[in-house]
């Protein structure tokens, strides 16, 4: 964990600074600043558009009684993309723009779910399977038997 913090707080800013200096020496300081601002604006707009689309899909799934787990994970990746696009620098902008590619996000979410064994390949008996970008739980073996009695009603009277 300390190595991760070192990487995030030292290596990434140092790399960003080096690349910005190199780009600035080629195209000029003001052009570099404008380019960084332009990528932030364009990236923010793209994140907003895809975020709204993801929220509408999630809402539609909720209205149909489905769990929008897959879209929620994609929403998390969109938030990471937005944060990385707002940070100044070309490396973080590249990561942010890559996360805006829907098939890549889809692949990252599937890989994450498979690595944590939340989903399994089709040949194995799954506890959870992915079908059309949604997670469905298979509870075929769960049978609950029991008796119930409605309160306030007599046992002898037929119910309407």
The HSE-up count of residue 53 (CA atoms within 13 Å, CB side) is 10
> What is the average pLDDT score of the chain?
81
In this predicted model, what pLDDT tens digit does every residue of 61-77 receive, in sequence order? 999 988 888 899 999 99
Return the number of other C-beta atoms located less than 10 Å from residue 113's C-beta: 18
Q: pTM for the whole thing?
A: 0.69
Chain-centroid distance of CA 122 in Å reads: 23
Domain boundaries, the chain: 8-115
Q: Look at the block and give the residue holding tokens 């990385």.
A: 84
Nearest to 139 by CA among 149, 129, 150: 129
What's the rounded Cα separation, in Å, for the pair 132 and 60? 14
Q: What sections of 116-160 are H helices per DSSP? A: none
Spell out the residues 6+ positions from residue 109 whose beta carbon is closer than 8 angstroms to its own: 70, 73, 74, 77
**Residue 79 tokens, joined:** 């938030």
Does residue 149 surpass a pLDDT of 60? no
How far is the CA of 136 from the CAs of 11, 62, 97, 126, in angstroms?
41, 13, 30, 10
In this predicted model, what pLDDT tens digit does every residue of 77-119 receive, in sequence order? 999 999 999 999 999 999 999 999 999 999 999 888 888 777 6
**Residue 105 tokens, joined:** 């996000």
């Amino acid at each position: 964990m300390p190595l991760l913090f070192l990487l995030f707080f030292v290596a990434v800013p140092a790399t960003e600074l080096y690349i910005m200096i190199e780009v600035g020496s080629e195209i000029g300081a003001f052009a570099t600043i404008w380019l960084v601002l332009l990528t932030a604006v364009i990236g923010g707009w793209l994140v907003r558009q895809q975020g709204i689309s993801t929220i509408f899909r999630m809402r539609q799934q909720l209205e149909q009684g489905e769990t929008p787990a897959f879209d929620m994970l994609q929403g998390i990746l969109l938030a990471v993309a937005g944060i990385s696009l707002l940070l100044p620098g070309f490396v973080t902008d590249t990561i942010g723009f890559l996360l805006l590619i829907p098939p890549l996000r889809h692949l990252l979410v599937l890989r994450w779910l498979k690595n944590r064994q939340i989903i399994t390949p089709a040949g194995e008996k799954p506890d959870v399977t992915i079908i059309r970008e949604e997670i469905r739980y298979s509870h075929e073996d769960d049978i609950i038997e029991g008796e119930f009695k409605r309160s306030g009603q007599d046992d002898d009277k037929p119910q309407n």
